[in-house]
Amino acid sequence: MTALERRPGSRGDITAAAQSKRVCGRSWRGERKSMELTMRERCIKVALENTPSNVRCVRIRKDLSGLAETSGSDAGLLCAPRPITRRALYVYLHECAHFVLHADGKRPRYVEEYEAEQWAHKIMRVAGIPVPRAETRQAKENISYILRGVKRKKGRRIDPRIRAFGKCAQPGTTSASKRRRTPFHAAARADSAWSRTESHGKKASARSIALFNS
């Protein structure tokens, strides 16, 4: 029987189909890996472009928690995960926002956190990088958590936009193991000790690509 006379569903047809499927699988995996590399590069680029000049030292964390020391003996220290994924980039930008917006430290904590969440959202959207839904949900939960602990003084009014943002939260949707940075959740394990002699004046350290690729 010649190739032209081969019946559909024969062993030769099945082998050819399997080979074609393997080729398509390899091609898809290659494209996915390329997309991941591209997103990694984009995240690093956005992080470098938006690291403020008053950040003097960046300490990389292995989890999705962060810390911004804008005043005191450790002023200039930014702790955040390596910004190579969308979630890690969001946390990194949130901490950068505190250096950009809250260096004076004169606003209520809930206002600072709300403004940092909005700033991080804005930067990622302008850069064309979708904000992960998990981070948006966590941001709302964080604001809701802070507002529950605010002791209202006579005559003090909370901005309706902040109140509305916190009301959108769905408490309990994020497990404790997946919770990310916030000063009220992570203060107990905040990095308070760091070498000032090695980091003092090294503003360029936050802009070193090797810092994020190593």
Each residue's pLDDT tens digit, 12-44: 555 655 555 555 556 656 666 666 668 999 999
- Asked if 48 and 209 count as a contact pair (C-beta separation under 8 A), the reply is yes
Q: Torsion angle, CA of 110/139/84/53, rounded to 10 degrees?
A: -20
- pLDDT band at residue 168 using 50, 70 and 90 as cut-offs: confident
- Residue 144: enclosing H or E segment and its boundaries? helix 133-148
- pLDDT the model gives residue 192: 36
- Asked if 55 and 78 count as a contact pair (C-beta separation under 8 A), the reply is yes
State how far the Cα of 13 lies from the Cα of 99, in Å rounded to an integer. Answer: 63
Each residue's pLDDT tens digit, 120-162: 999 999 999 999 999 999 999 999 999 888 877 656 788 899 9
Structure tokens at 193: 């000790």
Residue in the block written with tokens 């809250």: 102
Contacts of 59 (CB under 8 A, 6+ apart): 77, 78, 79, 80, 191, 194
User: 0.95 exceeded by the pTM?
Assistant: no
Tell the burial category of 120 from Cβ atoms under 10 Å away from its Cβ (0-12, 13-18, 19+): buried
